Amino acid sequence: MLDRIKASLPSLAPAEQRVGRLVLADPRSFANLPITELASRSHVSKPTVVRFCRSMGYDGLSDFKLKLAGSVSEGVPFIHRSVDADDKTGDVMVKVIDNTVAAFLKYRNDASSVAVERAADALLATYNTGKRIEFFGVGNSGIVAQDAQHKFFRLGITSIAYSDGHMQVMSASLLGPGDCVVVISNSGRTRDLMDACDIARKNGATTIVITVTGSPLAAAGNIHLTADHPEGYDRYSPMVSRLMHLMIIDILATCVALRIGSKLQPLLKEMKNNLRNKRYA
The SS3 assignment for 131 reads: coil
Q: How confident is the model at residue 230 (pLDDT cuts 50, 70, 90)?
A: low
- Tell me the per-residue pLDDT of 116-134, one tens digit each, with 9 for 90 and over: 999 999 999 999 999 999 9
Q: What is the dihedral of CA 82, 224, 141, 205, to 10 degrees?
A: -170
Domain extent for 172: 111-264
230: number of Cβ within 10 Å: 19
35: number of Cβ within 10 Å: 14
Mark whether 220 and 133 lie in a shared domain: yes
Mark whether 131 and 159 lie in a shared domain: yes
- Tell me the per-residue pLDDT of 159-218, one tens digit each, with 9 for 90 and over: 999 999 999 999 999 999 999 999 999 989 999 999 999 999 999 999 999 998 888 999
Q: Between 83 and 102, whose confidence is greater?
A: 102
User: What's the confidence (pLDDT) of residue 79?
Assistant: 39
Mark whether 230 and 146 lie in a shared domain: yes
Mark whether 23 and 161 lie in a shared domain: no
Q: How confident is the model at residue 262 (pLDDT cuts 50, 70, 90)?
A: confident
- Tell me the per-residue pLDDT of 56-99, one tens digit each, with 9 for 90 and over: 888 889 888 887 876 665 433 333 445 666 778 887 787 778 77
Mark whether 118 and 65 lie in a shared domain: no
| Distance, CA of 100 to CA of 27 (rounded, Å) | 23
The SS3 assignment for 49 reads: helix
Query: Does 280 map to a domain?
Result: no
Closest CA to 155 of 264, 27, 14: 264
| pLDDT of 152 over the 90 cut | yes
User: What's the confidence (pLDDT) of residue 71?
Assistant: 64
What is the pLDDT of the chain when averaged over all its residues? Answer: 87
Q: Which residues contact 138 (CB under 8 A, 6 or more apart)?
A: 163, 165, 185, 190, 192, 193
Q: Between 215 and 271, whose confidence is greater?
A: 215
Which amino acid would we find at residue 5?
Answer: I
Sheet containing 159-162, strands listed edge to edge, beginning at the edge strand earlier in sequence? 159-162, 133-136, 180-184, 206-211, 223-226
Closest CA to 142 of 189, 197, 186, 201: 186
Mark whether 118 and 62 lie in a shared domain: no
Mark whether 147 and 23 lie in a shared domain: no
Query: Does 254 map to a domain?
Result: yes
